[in-house]
Amino acid sequence: MSFVATKDGTRIFYRDFGQGRPIVFSHGWPLNADAWDGQMLFLAQNGFRVIAHDRRGHGRSDQPAAGNDMDTYSDDLAVVIEALDLKDAILVGHSTGGGEITRYVTRHGTARVAKMVLLGAVTPLMGAINGNDDGVPIAVVDGVRKATLDNRSQLFLDFPDVFFGMNKPGASKSEGWRYSFWLQGMMGGIHGQYACIEQFWASDFREEMKSITIPVLVVHGDGDEVVPIATTGKRSAEILPNATLKIYEGAPHGFPATHQDRLNADLLEFARD
């Protein structure tokens, strides 16, 4: 397995295969790089080099007590990008990963990055905090914290119903999605996962996003019950100077799985453009 070491000695696991222009993926909570299987294999088969890492505290990466915050997540991503000497890269982030790649660009610049893709991202601000009164209420996130603390294994079995929209009448259902979500979740450590909840809910990207001038593709499902499109995806597209918004009708938060073929086609078009 492949790892890079960060400044504080944390080992970050990554996957890297294919040849061509690099596309770098950042996953959502509480998952890991395996969440990108469907995108990575497809894009590698279509002429791209694909890289995905496990965020610290998640998956196969180390589980330190310190550094479980958005700034450090972005610094860890920078270590991966620099260690692999990636250039002209396209960054793709889902949910929390969207915040991570946004903070990477505003913190580390675009010398190595040409484009970004935000998928169901928590940007510009997910939570009802800092005047963002129509964001996700703190009671919701407190419920996620409690469920994580009380019995995260059960949470990771139950949450996929909402995550993949399997709770909706007539929706596609897959026990494979459920068990993959559970397995990826349980590979991480409770300390880092618990700390990450505050990061995806309260991190505020509103001001810094105004300075991102590279092309950004924003994709969001209007059936997302986890990260509602009205206060995230649509607002990101309004703030970013060079954004294109694509709305997937009825799509849930986990649309990289439920709408895999459509997303893969959109990513390929954006990467080739």
108 is catalytic: no
* Distance from C-alpha of 42 to C-alpha of 36, rounded to nearest angstrom: 10
The structural domains of the chain, ordered by start, are: 2-272 (3.40.50.1820)
Query: What residues contact residue 223 under an 8 Å CB cut-off, 6+ apart?
Result: 165, 168, 249, 250, 251, 252
SS3 label, residue 68: coil
Task: Phi first, then psi: give them for residue 176, nearest 5 degrees.
Answer: -60, -45
* Distance from C-alpha of 229 to C-alpha of 219, rounded to nearest angstrom: 9
* Distance from C-alpha of 253 to C-alpha of 234, rounded to nearest angstrom: 14
253 is catalytic: yes
Q: Is the pTM of this model over 0.85?
A: yes
Dihedral of the alpha carbons of 178, 25, 189, 196, in degrees to the nearest 10: -100
Catalytic residue among 61, 74, 95, 236: 95
71 is catalytic: no
Catalytic residue among 76, 204, 224, 266: 224
Instruction: Chunk the chain into consecutive blocks of 10 residues (it has 273) and report each block's average pLDDT, rounded to whole numbers.
Output: 96 98 98 98 98 98 97 98 98 98 98 98 98 97 98 98 95 95 98 98 98 98 98 98 98 98 98 95
According to the model, what pLDDT value does residue 172 have? 85
Residue 205 has which token pair? 């990207």
Catalytic residue among 27, 94, 220, 253: 253
Question: Where are the alpha helices (H) located in the chain, listed in sequence order?
Answer: 37-45, 70-83, 96-108, 138-158, 160-163, 175-187, 190-202, 233-239, 255-258, 260-272
SS3 label, residue 105: helix
Q: Which residues pair with 17 in a beta bridge?
A: 50
